[in-house]
Amino acid sequence: MTQVKRAFKYRFYPTDAQAAELSRTFGCVRKVYNMALAARTEAWARRERVNYNQTSAMLTAWKKTEELAFLNEVSSVPLQQCLRHLQTAFTNFFGKRAKYPRFKSKKKSRRSAEYTTSGFRFRDGRLTLAKTTDPLAIVWSRPLPEGAQPSTVTVSQDAAGRWFVSMLVEDQAVRPLPAVDTAVGIDVGLDHLLTLSTGEKIANPRHERKDRARLARAQRVLARKEKGSRNRAKARRKVARIHARIADRRRDFLHKLTTRLVRENQTLVIEDLTVRNMVRNHTLARAISDAAWSDFRSMLEYKASWYGRNVVAVDRFFPSSRLCSDCGALQNKMPLNVRTWTCDCGTTHDRDVNAAKNLLAVGLTVSACGAGVRPQRSTPGGQSAVKQETPRREP
């Protein structure tokens, strides 16, 4: 059985010397990445391609110049790793899986550095990075798998000033769960975050709304500070800490929820929503972003892969809300303000529960026969008779 590689993330508190060294490393990583991207962009304009080996040779030449001699002061491992990341970005671009790589910004880009085994030492639970003398003061909020040795270590600092270290290890404890005969359809929303085909509704915690007033006050204070001043930097960190608090609570909730769903069900059927397009609706963008449907799906899929479960994504144009889950009759219209409706067969439906049941039924069909899920067509020219629904805004 293939071993699962898992990243274990911990917070740590660096000494002043470690913080200074890591900050220098972050700056050098950003500098090398941007220079390599500029070189590859110039070559692309000349209809030439530059690969990782060529940018690695450029890095060696840059280090020998007087202007860039400071690159020798930090570990070479993160610098090489950022070139590999750039190569991956271009591979995804040429494979039409991503947009053209962008330059890293000093203010907006993530501050991080990746170390491979030659760039750190991990012994007796103590992690020491290259170019530093003392081990990191890590808060071990949970233990690493017994006998695990990190293959990659990533150090980062978020906008709130918190330091984190992520260790990639093989986790032998992650293995397929015993098969069960349960399956569930999952309909996402804003009033309720999830509605299951079993009839269970999971409330939307609305993490951002709980801190909205505090966040608004902090942002007003930030707007009044003079640009470039220390007081503005302090105010910016206060705003970042509120955002971090919201994101931490949201992530924790989604992890617990997805783990529970994967453990309880063999097959999980979801709707293939294009959240990127849905947030263009400025009236609902904030609520949709707070619900984090994309994060939910991502967690559900990788945990299902770990534990031997199946996730089926149904075509977004499938009329799950307008289809009677009892007799199969298709309603012509179903305005978003209609939350319960009665079919001609006499069955009264909760809109969201009915949608979840329909998703489950069509998802099990796909799982059984491998057929694709396509929208039902009823208009001339083959155009879809239904559009992707945008959930109604809640008061």
Q: How far apart are the C-alpha atoms of 242 and 219, rounded to whole Å?
A: 10
What residues does 153 pair with on adjacent strands? 115, 167
User: For this structure, is 73 an active site residue?
Assistant: no
The residues, any chain, with a CB within 8 Å of residue 55's CB and separated by 6 or more, are 36, 39, 40, 83, 86, 87
Is the separation of the CB atoms in 243 and 160 below 8 Å? yes
Among residues 208, 290, 352, 389, which one is catalytic? Answer: 352
Using CA atoms, how far apart are residues 187 and 282, in angstroms rounded to an integer? 22
Q: Are 169 and 272 in contact (CB under 8 A)?
A: no
CA distance 394 to 117: 50
Q: List the one residue out of 195, 198, 309, 299 whose CA is nearest residue 262.
A: 309
Angle at 201 between CA 200 and CA 207, to 5 degrees: 145
For the chain, how many residues are written? Answer: 395
Contact 325, 358 (CB under 8 A): yes
Catalytic residue among 21, 114, 208, 271: 271
User: Is residue 131 exposed (0-12), middle (13-18) or buried (19+ Cβ within 10 Å)?
Assistant: middle
Residue 170 appears among annotated catalytic residues: no
Q: What does the DSSP 8-state code read for residue 136?
A: P
Tokens for 11, please give them.
Answer: 């917070």
Identify whether 191 is a catalytic site residue: no
Query: Which residue pairs from 175-182 have beta carbons closer than 8 angstroms and sit at least 24 positions apart in sequence?
Result: 175/1, 175/4, 175/307, 176/307, 176/308, 177/262, 177/263, 177/307, 177/308, 177/309, 179/266, 179/308, 180/264, 180/265, 180/266, 181/266, 182/264, 182/265, 182/266
* Active-site residue (options: 187, 208, 290, 389): 187
Q: Do 22 and 155 meet the contact criterion of CB atoms below 8 Å apart?
A: yes
Contact 247, 239 (CB under 8 A): no
Q: Which residues are catalytic?
A: 187, 271, 352
